[in-house]
Amino acid sequence: MLIRILFRNAFRHKLRTLLTISGMAVAILAFCLMQTVIDAWYAGVAASSSTRLISRNAISLVFSLPLFYRERIRQVDGVTLVSYGNWFGGYYQDPKNFFANFAIEPRSYLELYPEFVIEGADKTAFLRDRRGVAVGRKLAERFGWKLGDEITLKGTIFPGDWPMVLRAIYTGRDKTVDETQLLFHWDYLNETLRQSLSARADQVGFYIIGVRNPDRAAETSEAVDTQFRNSTAETLTETEKAFQLSFVAMSETIISAVRLVSFVVIVIILVVVANTMAMSVRERLWEYAVFKTLGFVGSQIALLILGESLVITLLGGALGIALTFPLANAFGQAVGTFFPTFNVAPATLYQALAAAIGVGVAAALLPARQAAQVGIAAGLRRIV
């Protein structure tokens, strides 16, 4: 019975209520999408493992490191496995078809990244074929690639055409895994460089280091860098999370602006809902006066107004959350190059629900106080 009363009160002025619910839905939708954009920006950080370190040239990632560093890094106490690779920077057919592509040492790399799941036979084929490549599921779907297809990358950092054969399609063990990358054999890159650009051969862009004890990652990083201190190519070794954060930090201002706007949207809809509730209460003050003549106390009337406000905001919030999923999927497909993983996190939904409840409660406070304090005589004078 109480629920029916709340709905009847909320929809007494149908157009106004529907417009308020629509505004609430748009606000919650915008909030969820902007929070998801922020989560996608930090996806690489979230996917980082505490058991992996990244070692690069101390000057800049642009500069390379000698291949022979691998054996010296292996000897550092606490290191379990060392892999290496280069950012290749190629594109497929057209410069617009840009995606992440790396030349890697496949066996150690896949061992360090178990979240890249490849079927047994496909993995064997990839490891055996020097010109073989493994691509993420989303990237394969984007270009319609199938196993056995020849893929030719056009190099930018390493000029020329680079023909390869698709041997494996990996999937992510978790939702945070980037499924838009292309991985190929570092040996294929290096052998070609020995013939055409010998000065750039036997050089790697970064080392990936597996550590035995994540709690001693800082000590292991320092030990690695000490090995090459005062050399011609000093190293900077840090946790994978710190490495990813260094890229995110470049756009921290943009992220802060997006986060601020997402909360401003909630504040704006709070004002809209508060105005709706204030208008509703002013129009029905005489009803609350009648309630008081029937024995209702101020707190009961305040709870009715609070319930009415929550009905409006929760309906709008539920609609906004329901619309978030199809729009997030469409947005994720449209910007897949920039946000390889674009998933609505449960935490975002909880925040949206909390925002809807918070707006409902805050918007009802002043109108509920006004209705609870109205005198019977003053309220009855408003009857037309």
pLDDT in tens, 83-100: 999 999 999 999 888 899
140 burial level (CB within 10 Å; 0-12, 13-18, 19+): buried
- pLDDT the model gives residue 106: 95
Alpha-carbon span 18 to 10, nearest angstrom: 10
User: pLDDT by residue (tens digit) across 250-275?
Assistant: 667 777 888 888 888 888 888 888 88
- How many CA atoms, within 13 angstroms, populate the side-chain half-sphere of residue 358? 13
pLDDT tens, residue order, the chain (384 aa): 567 777 777 787 888 889 989 999 999 999 998 888 888 777 666 667 888 999 999 998 889 999 999 999 999 999 999 999 999 999 999 988 889 999 999 999 999 999 999 988 999 999 999 999 999 999 999 999 999 999 999 998 998 999 999 999 999 988 888 899 999 999 999 999 998 888 888 999 999 999 999 989 999 999 999 999 999 999 999 999 888 877 766 667 777 888 888 888 888 888 888 888 877 777 666 566 666 676 667 677 778 888 888 989 999 999 999 999 998 888 777 765 566 677 888 899 999 999 999 998 898 888 777 777 666 665 556 555
Alpha-carbon span 54 to 7, nearest angstrom: 58
3-state SS string over the chain? CHHHHHHHHHCCCHHHHHHHHHHHHHHHHHHHHHHHHHHHHCHHHHCCCCCEEEEEECCCCCCCEECCHHHHHHCCCCEEEEEEEEECCCEECCCCCECCEEEECHHHHHHHCCCEECCHHHHHHHHHCCCEEEEEHHHHHHHCCCCCCEEEEEECCCCEEEEEEEEEEEEECCCCCCCCCEEEEHHHHHHHHHHHCHHHCCEECEEEEEECCHHHHHHHHHHHHHHCCCCCCCEEEEEHHHHHHHHHHHHHHHHHHHHHHHHHHHHHHHHHHHHHHHHHHHHCHHHHHHHHHCCCCHHHHHHHHHHHHHHHHHHHHHHHHHHHHHHHHHHHHHCCCCCCCCCCCHHHHHHHHHHHHHHHHHHHHHHHHHHHHCCHHHHHCCCC
Inter-CA distances, 244 with 44, 248, 371, Å: 6, 7, 54
Report the largest interatomic distance among the alpha carbons of the chain, rounded to a whole angstrom.
98
Taking alpha carbons only, the member of 142, 132, 146, 147 closest to residue 93 is: 142
